[in-house]
Amino acid sequence: MKYRYDVEEHIDSKYVKKTKVKSLATGLIGAEMKVFLKNIVTTKGKPPEMVKVFKTTISPNGKAKRVEHKTMHYGVSHAVRNLFDENFQYVVDYNCNYYYACRMGSDCCDNDYCRCGRIENPTIISTDGFKSYVLNELIKISNLYKPVVDPDILAYCLERVIQYCADLTTDSFEISVRGGYYGEEVDSIKYQASRELIGFIIGVVEAPSSLDAVKMVLEMEYGFLLEESKDYEACEVHTVKRSSLVTPNEYRVKTLDKNYIKKYKEMDYDIPIGIYRKVNDKYEIIDGYHRFCAASKNKKNKVKLIVITKGA
C-alpha cells in the first residue's frame, strides 16, 4: 500500500481555487510533504490563507483512492511561527568549552587530526542580536501582508511586543550539539516562542487600524487603557524638534532605570520613540519615558513620534 499527497489552496470555504501550489505538491510522500507544507508559497510569493491536503492511497491491485487528509491555515501566523522555528545559532552570541580526551592521555587521536573534542556547557552570552533580527524579519513578514497599520507605527508596536513578551534571557534558548568530522560542533540554537508572544505579534500585524495597534500594546504593557483613550480618534507619525517634547510627570523621569536608557540610546532603529499627545505647540508624553530620555542624550535634533489625536 502506497500513499501520495497533493495540496489545494482554498481561499475560503465557499471558493476553491486551484493554484500552481497543486501541481508542485503532487506525489509527495511522508516527510517530503512536511517540508513542503512548511515552506509552501503561492505564485504571489506568500503563504496561502488555507490549504487542504489530500491523501491518495494506492492499493496492491493498482486502484487509487483520494480522500481529504487535513486542512491547514497559513497567513501571518504561519510565517511568524516559521520565523521562531529557525536556527538562531548565528544570531545570538554563545560560548563553548571543549574537552579533548587526547590531551588527557588518551591515544584516540594518535597520528591523525584531533577529532575527539567534546562540547561542555555551551552557554548563550548575549541575545541582543536576536531581538534586532526578529524585529527586522517581522517587519519583512508584515510587509508581505500589506498591513493597514502605518509602517512606522507597526515597527514601534512590534518592538514593544518583543521587548515585553519575548523571554530574552539566555536560558530561553536551547543549544544542541552534533558530531562533526573534527569533533563535536554546535548543531542549532532554538528558541521557544510563547503563545502570548505569537498572539500579540499577529494581533498588531493584523490590527484594523494604527490606533488599534497602539492601544493593543499600551494595554499589553500596562494591563489597562487610560480613561482618556475613549476619546482617541486616530494616530499618526510626526517628526518634530526634540525641544518640543514635554513631560507632565517629572517624578517618572527621576525614577527611570539608567540601564534601560543606555540600551535605548545604543539602539539604532529608525522607529518612533514613544506615544505623545499634542498640547498647543508641544508634544506631551504618554508612553516611552526611557526612550524620551535616551533621545535627549542622543543629541538628535529631530525625533519621530506617534501622535494621538483626540475627538472634539
Binding-site ranges for Zn ion (CB under 5 A): 100, 102, 109, 114, 116
Phi, psi at 127, each rounded to 5°: -110, 15
- Whether residue 162 contacts residue 223, with contact meaning beta carbons closer than 8 Å, is answered with no
Using a 10 angstrom Cβ sphere, with 0-12 exposed, 13-18 middle and 19 or more buried, the burial of residue 159 is buried
What's 16's DSSP letter? B
Q: Distance between CA 247 and CA 304 in Å, rounded?
A: 16
Q: Which of 68, 94, 193 is nearest to 137 (CA)?
A: 193
First to last CA, the chain: 71
In the complex with Zn ion, the residue whose CB is nearer, 100 or 260, is: 100
With cell 491536503, the residue in question is 53
In the complex with Zn ion, the residue whose CB is nearer, 109 or 148, is: 109
What type of residue sits at position 171? D
Phi, psi at 231, each rounded to 5°: -90, -5
CA 177 to chain centre: 25
Smallest distance from the beta carbon of 113 to Zn ion, in angstroms? 8
Smallest distance from the beta carbon of 112 to Zn ion, in angstroms? 9
Smallest distance from the beta carbon of 119 to Zn ion, in angstroms? 13
With cell 545604543, the residue in question is 266
Phi, psi at 100, each rounded to 5°: -115, 110
Smallest distance from the beta carbon of 185 to Zn ion, in angstroms? 14
Smallest distance from the beta carbon of 183 to Zn ion, in angstroms? 7
Smallest distance from the beta carbon of 116 to Zn ion, in angstroms? 3
In the complex with Zn ion, the residue whose CB is nearer, 24 or 109, is: 109
Instruction: Please list the alpha-helical segments (H only) found in the chain.
Output: 20-25, 30-39, 76-84, 128-144, 151-165, 195-205, 210-222, 250-254, 258-266, 289-298
In the complex with Zn ion, the residue whose CB is nearer, 41 or 114, is: 114
In the complex with Zn ion, the residue whose CB is nearer, 102 or 253, is: 102
Smallest distance from the beta carbon of 181 to Zn ion, in angstroms? 13
In the complex with Zn ion, the residue whose CB is nearer, 100 or 145, is: 100
In the complex with Zn ion, the residue whose CB is nearer, 36 or 99, is: 99
Smallest distance from the beta carbon of 176 to Zn ion, in angstroms? 22
Torsion of CA 177, 178, 180, 182, to 10 degrees: 40
